[in-house]
């Protein structure tokens, strides 16, 4: 296997498009999600994964290890988002955001370490402008993404001797199935399209291996949605 990639949340939205892009770019891709996808390719492994469960994350990496001992590219993408004023947000909703968007990436990185390649592995996290900027009615999402960024900031220092690349993407709103579940009042015309997101993602992935993007914020020219 020449180049291997893992991605969480490969069943929908950005994760599915990134998966197809990486396959077309020559990677072997191990994608993890709970529901899986109908997309098929000989170099795509659709692996069951619940990012909130350490047992499931460990099993995901056991499957990867059957095929490769190392990972060139890791895409930390899976995430959930619901909207509600803080006073109407249930404890269960708040905790599920933390479990998926903060604890999930923690488990991913913990089990990823033994696959890292010195001077080589590139870790790309799909954060959000909500990891940098407070929006109304998404306190749980904001907290979980700020928390994820804090965890990555610490880990980058712990793993500095590996000399791997950490790229953090902070996109604004993108028109994906995520918004069908949110049921928003916001106009999709003020969101980036998936192909626009992919133009930035492709640039980042194909950049020379000496380059990382510690903080890349990009959004629709209409500005922040709020
Ligand atoms: N769309 C936007 O406006 C936007 C903007 C900025 C950042 N982002 C971020 O981009 C990432 C992808 O979002 P999207 O817009 O592509 O959303 P999406 O279409 O709803 O896809 C979310 C993906 O995450 C996976 N996922 C959710 N919970 C999971 C779990 N417990 N275990 C494993 N996988 C899980 C889902 O798979 P299953 O349900 O099959 O498990 C799905 O593949 C998220 O981190 C999101 O916060 C999105």
What is the count of structural domains for the chain?
A: 1
Q: Are 177 and 129 in contact (CB under 8 A)?
A: no
**54 in a domain, yes or no?**
yes
Q: Cβ contacts of residue 88 below 8 Å, gap of 6+?
A: none
49 lines ligand 1 (CB under 6 A): yes
Question: In the predicted model, is pLDDT for residue 1 greater than 80?
Answer: no
Residue 35: give the domain boundaries. 4-218
Band of pLDDT at residue 225, cut at 50, 70 and 90: confident
- Cα–ligand 1 centroid distance for 77 (angstroms): 6
pLDDT in tens, 135-178: 999 999 999 999 999 999 999 999 999 999 999 999 999 999 99
* C-beta 4 within 6 A of ligand 1: no
CA of 81 to the centre of ligand 1 (A): 8
Say if 193 falls within a structural domain: yes
Cα 118 to ligand 1 centroid, rounded to whole Å: 29
Alpha-carbon distance of 94 to 83, in angstroms, equals 11
What is the pLDDT confidence band of residue 186, given thresholds at 50, 70 and 90? confident
Question: What is this structure's pTM?
Answer: 0.98
Residue 223 lies in a domain: no
pLDDT digits (tens, 9 = 90+) for 41-80: 999 999 999 999 999 999 999 999 999 999 999 999 999 9
pLDDT digits (tens, 9 = 90+) for 5-47: 999 999 999 999 999 999 999 999 999 999 999 999 999 999 9
State residue 2's pLDDT score: 87
Residue 100, ligand 1, Cβ within 6 A: yes
CA-nearest of 40, 29, 21, 42 to 74 is 29
Looking at residue 226, its pLDDT comes to 79
User: In this predicted structure, what is the pLDDT of residue 185?
Assistant: 80
Report the atom number in ligand 1 closest to the C-alpha of 52.
31
Ligand 1 neighbour 176 (Cβ under 6 A): yes
Q: Is a pLDDT exceeding 90 seen at residue 183?
A: no
Taking the CA of residue 78 as reference, the ligand 1 atom at the shortest distance is: 24
Q: Is 142 in the pocket of ligand 1 (CB under 6 A)?
A: no
31 Cβ inside 6 Å of ligand 1? no
What CATH number is associated with residue 198?
A: 3.40.50.720
Cβ-Cβ contacts under 8 Å for 119 (sequence gap 6 or more): 162, 163, 164
């Amino acid at each position: 296997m020449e180049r291997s990639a893992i991605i969480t949340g490969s069943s929908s939205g950005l994760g599915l498009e990134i998966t197809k892009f990486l396959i077309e770019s020559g990677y072997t891709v191990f994608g993890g999600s709970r529901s899986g996808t109908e997309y098929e390719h000989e170099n795509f492994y659709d692996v069951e994964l619940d990012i909130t469960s350490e047992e499931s994350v460990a099993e995901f990496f056991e499957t990867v290890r059957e095929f490769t001992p190392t990972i060139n590219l890791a895409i930390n993408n899976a995430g959930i988002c619901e909207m509600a004023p803080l006073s109407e947000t249930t404890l269960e909703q708040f905790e599920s955001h933390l479990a998926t968007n903060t604890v999930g990436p923690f488990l991913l990185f913990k089990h990823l370490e033994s696959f890292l390649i010195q001077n080589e592995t590139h870790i790309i996290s799909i954060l959000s402008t909500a990891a940098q900027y407070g929006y109304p009615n998404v306190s749980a999402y904001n907290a979980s993404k700020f928390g994820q960024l804090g965890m990555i900031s610490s880990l980058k220092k712990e793993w500095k001797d590996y000399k791997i690349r950490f790229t953090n993407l902070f996109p604004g709103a993108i028109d994906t199935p995520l918004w069908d579940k949110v049921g928003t009042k916001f106009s999709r015309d003020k969101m980036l399209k998936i192909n626009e997101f992919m133009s930035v993602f492709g640039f980042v992935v194909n950049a020379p291996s000496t380059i990382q993007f510690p903080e890349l914020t990009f959004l629709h020219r209409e500005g922040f949605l709020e």
